[in-house]
């Protein structure tokens, strides 16, 4: 405790809470009806002669217990904004040991560290504006102000309670004063704790809003499923998830996320996901899912449990990322790797066999051997060109400059086919529709596929005739490709339809794969009819990258 008396008034021996004689005392509203010159009351009697009924010792220097018993609470700082009189001295002594006391008539002492202000009527009138300003400055923390006065008419001031919380009349008993000061300081401490909590809550709320915006604006799908509800329904879905799946939020909330599954969703992967959720463990899987329009896409699903303060799982948070493009790349690499490895090995074995035969000179016709070697070399060159075609198709995004009328594209396909296959007949039908398509990749895809049909023709009497028929309806291009020998074999179609090659199930040429990749890259669909005709359908102005309608399977 420290007592700061900025005016350093002369201190007389304590006798009563009273003013000095009228002829020499400083002006004050605190009066007791007894003066120091008359001997007045005893030093332990603040009521001008009445006995102190409190059970505690009554010496004013004994002090008043203002603490609330809370650990770590600093002693309060009390400002006595009173005239330099006997009452100020007695109040300072009364507060000794329990508070830091500053006694002054200067309102400049009313700073942010003041916990309680006792003021007389004269200084309230003089510093009313300053007191009100300080109370407003520390709001919402309460700054209690107590008016100490002997004038009962002070209560008639209607504006008094805008700056004053309590009025203590003089003479006043110590129990009354002690109780009021304790209550006011407790109120201040409570307001400070509440203000601190509100500030913490405001920070937490701001953080929560930032996190909420971050989740809402995340570029990947984010969902939250409630574990405590039946069937673990979705209770939150951000905009990216709605865009990814094509569903409105109202169609999503309240449903289990299995509504995204479909006929090509792998059941074993779904089971692995379910087992991890049952065990409340994080899990990451790649799933074939379906949009609202039935379009298939590859979805990387990451799910993690969310626990409450007791460690109980209450929700699951899920992150969904469209990885269709990545899966397409993986498929292309796998197909090219198998295709090149298989065909290169075959052709090199042929070359090596004839080379060894020539070296042994065991009766092999040299002209025939050299011809076979030359054929294999030609096939190796073709393999290199096909791989180059794939690289050209998917090396970048064709822009508007690459878009040409569908009739121009068909003309280019026909011209290229006649150049490569002079003995073949190429039949073409085109609409009058001026619709434009991405030309480069489509030409390469059609040419490679039609060339495959000619090169793999296994009819008893091979017929070198292929056809390309184009229709445009409702903004969708339909290109039908076939030959006169049964078209695409069912076995080859199954390989491409499933999107996976194996050592026992694979195609011998890249043409079909190229056309499939071209179609899916343009956001279209590749189908086969019963007569073996291959149809590629896609929007006239389709995007150059997008979901694989029949994405690759692992």
Residue 336: both structure tokens together: 């090219």
Q: Is the pLDDT confidence value at 353 over 90?
A: no
What's the rounded mean pLDDT across residues 319-348?
76
> pLDDT tens-digit profile of 493-521?
887 777 655 443 445 567 788 778 778 77
| Residues 438 and 369 placed together within one structural domain of the fold | yes
**Which pLDDT value is given to residue 553?**
40
pLDDT at 350 over 50: yes
pLDDT range class, residue 79, cuts 50, 70, 90? very high
Does 206 fall in a domain? no
- The answer to which of 40-49, 115-124, 128-137 has the lowest mean pLDDT is 40-49
Q: Can you tell me the distance from the alpha carbon of 85 to that of 170, in angstroms, rounded to the nearest whole number?
A: 14
Q: Look at residue 117 and tell me whether its pLDDT is greater than 90.
A: yes
3-state secondary structure at position 107: helix
What confidence score (pLDDT) does residue 287 get? 93
Q: How confident is the model at residue 305 (pLDDT cuts 50, 70, 90)?
A: very high
Confidence of residue 292 (pLDDT cuts 50, 70, 90): very high
User: Residues 285, 411: one domain?
Assistant: no
pLDDT band at 11 (very low <50, low <70, confident <90, very high): very low
Residue 545 maps to a domain: no
Tell me the C-alpha to C-alpha distance, in Å, between residue 241 and each of 163, 170, 248, 253, 259.
Answer: 56, 72, 9, 12, 13
For 111, phi then psi, to 5°, come to -105, -175
Neighbouring residues of 77: CB distance < 8 A, sequence distance ≥ 6: 99, 100, 101, 102, 113, 114, 115, 116
Poorest-confidence range of 223-227, 284-288, 299-303, 441-445?
Answer: 441-445
**One domain for residues 240 and 346:** no
- Where is the domain boundary, 275, 294, 322? 322
Structure confidence at residue 260 (pLDDT): 95
Average of pLDDT values for 324-328? 84
Given this model, what pLDDT does residue 98 score? Answer: 84
Together in a domain, 94 and 61: yes
211 in any annotated domain: no
Number of domains in the chain: 3
Whether 435 maps to a domain, the answer reads yes
Same domain for 99 and 173?
yes
pLDDT of residue 7: 45
Residue 87 domain-assigned (yes or no): yes
Q: Helix/strand/coil (H, E, C) string of 369-435?
A: HHHHHHHHHHHHHHHHHHHHHHHHHHCCCCCHHHEEEHHHHHHHHHHHHHHHCCCCEEEEECCCCCC
User: Across all residues in the chain, what is the average pLDDT?
Assistant: 77
SS3 466: strand
Same domain for 502 and 379: yes
How many Å apart are CA 218 and CA 223, to the nearest integer? 11
Reported as a single tens digit per residue, the pLDDT across 430-439 is 887 777 776 6
Q: Is 60 exceeded by the pLDDT of residue 465?
A: yes
Taking residues 301-324, report their average pLDDT. 92
Structural domain includes residue 547: no
Q: Which domain holds residue 15?
A: 3-195
The CATH number linked to 271 is: 3.30.450.20
């Amino acid at each position: 405790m420290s007592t700061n008396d900025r005016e350093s008034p002369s201190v007389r021996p304590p006798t009563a809470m009273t003013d000095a004689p009228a002829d020499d005392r400083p002006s004050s509203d605190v009066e007791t009806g007894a003066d120091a010159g008359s001997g007045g009351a005893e030093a332990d009697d603040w009521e001008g002669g009445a006995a102190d009924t409190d059970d505690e010792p009554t010496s004013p220097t004994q002090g008043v217990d203002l603490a609330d018993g809370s650990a770590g609470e600093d002693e309060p700082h009390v400002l006595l904004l009173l005239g330099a009189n006997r009452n100020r001295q007695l109040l300072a002594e009364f507060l000794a040991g329990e508070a830091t006391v500053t006694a002054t008539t200067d309102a400049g002492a009313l700073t942010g560290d003041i916990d309680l202000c006792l003021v007389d009527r004269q200084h309230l009138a003089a510093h009313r504006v300053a007191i009100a300003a300080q109370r407003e400055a520390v709001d919402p923390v309460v700054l209690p102000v107590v008016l100490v006065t002997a004038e009962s008419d002070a209560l008639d001031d209607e504006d008094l309670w805008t700056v004053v919380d309590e009025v203590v009349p003089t003479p006043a008993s110590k129990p009354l004063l002690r109780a009021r000061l304790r209550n006011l300081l407790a109120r201040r401490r409570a307001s400070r704790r509440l203000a601190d909590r509100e500030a913490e809550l405001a920070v937490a709320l701001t953080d929560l809003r930032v996190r909420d915006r971050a989740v809402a604006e995340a570029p990947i799908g984010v969902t939250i499923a409630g574990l405590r509800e039946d069937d673990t329904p979705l209770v939150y879905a951000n905009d990216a998830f709605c865009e990814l799946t094509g569903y409105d939020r109202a169609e999503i909330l309240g449903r289990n996320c299995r509504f995204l599954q479909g006929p090509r969703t792998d059941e074993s992967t779904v089971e692995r996901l379910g087992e991890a959720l049952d065990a409340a463990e994080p899990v990451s899987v790649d799933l074939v899912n379906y949009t609202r329009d039935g379009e298939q896409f590859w979805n990387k699903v990451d799910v993690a449990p969310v626990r409450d303060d007791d460690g109980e799982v209450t929700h699951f948070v899920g992150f969904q990322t469209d990885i269709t493009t990545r899966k397409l790349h993986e498929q292309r690499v796998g197909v090219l790797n198998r295709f090149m490895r298989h065909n290169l090995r075959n052709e090199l074995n042929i070359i090596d066999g004839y080379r060894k035969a020539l070296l042994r000179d065991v009766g092999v016709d040299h002209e025939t051997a050299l011809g076979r070697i030359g054929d294999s070399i030609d096939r190796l060159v073709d393999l290199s060109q096909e791989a180059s075609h794939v690289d050209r198709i998917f090396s970048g995004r064709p822009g508007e400059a690459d878009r040409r009328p569908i009739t121009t594209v068909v003309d280019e396909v026909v011209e290229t086919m006649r150049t490569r296959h002079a003995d073949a007949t190429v039949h073409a039908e085109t609409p009058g529709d001026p619709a434009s398509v991405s030309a480069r990749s489509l030409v390469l895809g059609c040419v490679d596929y039609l060339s495959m049909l000619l090169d793999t023709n296994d009819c008893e009497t091979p017929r070198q005739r292929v056809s390309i028929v184009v229709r445009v309806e409702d903004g969708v291009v339909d290109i039908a490709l076939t030959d006169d020998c049964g078209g695409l074999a069912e076995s080859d179609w199954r390989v491409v339809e499933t999107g996976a090659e194996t050592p026992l199930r694979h195609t011998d040429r890249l043409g079909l794969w190229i056309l499939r990749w071209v179609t899916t890259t343009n956001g279209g669909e590749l189908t086969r009819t019963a007569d073996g005709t291959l149809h590629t359908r896609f929007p006239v102005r389709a995007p150059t990258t997008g979901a694989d309608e029949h994405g690759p399977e692992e």
